[in-house]
Structure 1
Amino acid sequence: MVKTLSDRNGRPTIPHVVLVEGKNDRNRVLEAVRADVLTTGGEALTESMVQTIRRLHERRGVIVLTDPDGPGGRIRRALTRAIPDLYHAYVPSHAAKRQGKIGIEHANLSVIREALLHPIQGGHPRNEGSPQYALLHHRPADTASPEEEKTTDSMLTWQAFQAMGLVGEDFSRDLRLKVGDMLGIGYGNAKQFYRLLQLFNIDEEKLSHAIKVAR
């Protein structure tokens, strides 16, 4: 079981990155817990997405929470083949059904919370006393709009992100490509890249240095 504190709204803090399929799933998870959440954007996993998940898992740990249906199962199996030691949280289909539709977005908050507090890794319960758990346990970023979001440790603001030329300039796309490769976090559009910086806990100093080298 994940031992963690709760916020003033009673949401427990999950130390790992939670992986779901879509935005509605992400929003539902954030009603249940306080966590950093990454979306796959659907069933088609690109190699770039798999690499991003692998790097995140190495640094922070990733809990897979896909829909309890066919596509969700295929995503789990594909990721398990690529990254065997991922953490997995499961919500039964009967607890994620509403008006004939199945998905995490329809699940009861207490069920989601319970699943994320009891993930399994490689088919075995996680070891809370391991050094890896201690390294992964940290306070995730607040969940707000991209303009308001800040990284967990660096307090990197959207305004600072803009000022560094990573958005809104003719060269921004190429700069994000170079910086993403240099930091090993992959590529995304402006908002996606800002989110990746948060998920990987890239602070302003490290980002600034990478930009200077990239230029």
Structure 2
Amino acid sequence: MKIKEIIIVEGKNDTQKLKRYFDCDTIETHGMHLSKKTLEMIQQAQNKRGVIIFTDPDAPGEKIRMKINQHVEGCKNAFIDKKKARTSKKVGIEHATEEDLKESLEHLLTYSENLQPTLSWSEFLELGCTGRADSSQKRRKLEEYLHIGKSNGKTLYKRLNMLQLNQQECLKILEEEE
């Protein structure tokens, strides 16, 4: 499978894993320290071919993702569930299967500051995805259905708006039988 965009990953093991299954190019962030030079390289890649941010499904990976999205407009984002990218001791893209990596790369979100919200905060609260005993279960259901990675309430709210989903569409997903 040929991937046009350049994939942003954390390290060389992630690059090796992706290149094993896909015809792709990567830029490695080398962990959480994102240098000005690396951010400039990512911006150039975005201008020429587009980029996909595919960081590990952990706190450092989310921080890297947020920093890149804040500095480079219009990045595509791929997410993988933590359960699908782990060993008994480590979490990372390099531990995922080919099938799980492919599924993640088929469900991309594009981050943009310019999108108009389709879901208000009060509508989000009415969905029950934060502040209730079953909120984490509701968030998990939306995250898994939409392939948008694990998140807290505020992050889920942002990602639902990135997808331009409204309250009725979210309710439909939440009400589906498992």
TM-score w.r.t. length of structure 2: 0.61
Runs of 4+ in 1 over 4 A off after TM superposition: none
1:67-95 Cα distance to aligned partner (Å, 9 max, x none): 00011000001111111310100011010
Q: Does 1:109 align with 2:98?
A: yes
Residue 66 (structure 2) pairs with residue 77 (structure 1): yes
Alignment match, 2:108: 119
Name 2:56's counterpart in structure 1. 67
Aligned to 1:51: 40
Q: 1:32 Cα deviation (Å)?
A: 2.3
Distance 2:86 2:72 in 1: 29
CA distance in 1, matches of 2:48, 2:93: 25
SS of equivalent residue, structure 2 residue 25: strand
Q: Does 1:41 align with 2:30?
A: yes
RMSD: 1.3
Matched, 1:17 2:10: no
Offset, 1:115: 1.3
SS of residue paired to 1:14: strand
Report the equivalent of 2:20: 31
- Asked whether the equivalents of residues 13 and 35 of structure 1 are also in contact (C-alpha less than 8 Å), the reply is yes
**Does the alignment pair 1:94 with 2:86?**
no
Secondary structure in 2 matching 1:90: coil
Q: What is the CA–CA distance in structure 2 between the aligned matches of 1:124 and 1:86, rounded to whole Å?
A: 13
Q: Deviations over 1:174-205 (max 9, x none)?
A: xxxxxxxxxxxxxxxxxxxxxxxxxxxxxxxx
Which structure dedicates a bigger proportion of its chain to helix? 2
| Equivalence map 1:134-213=2 (5 Å) | none
Aligned-partner SS, 1:36: strand
SS at match of 1:54: helix
Within 1, Cα distance between the matches of 2:163 and 2:52? Answer: 13
Deviation at residue 114 of structure 1 after TM alignment: 1.5
* TM-score after normalising by structure 1: 0.51
Is contact 1:14-1:116 (8 Å) kept?
Answer: no
SS in structure 1 of the partner of residue 4 of structure 2: strand
Larger CA Rg, structure 1 vs 2: 1
Long gaps (5+) in structure 2: 112-161, 165-178
- Give the fraction of aligned pairs with identical amino acids, expressed as a percent: 31
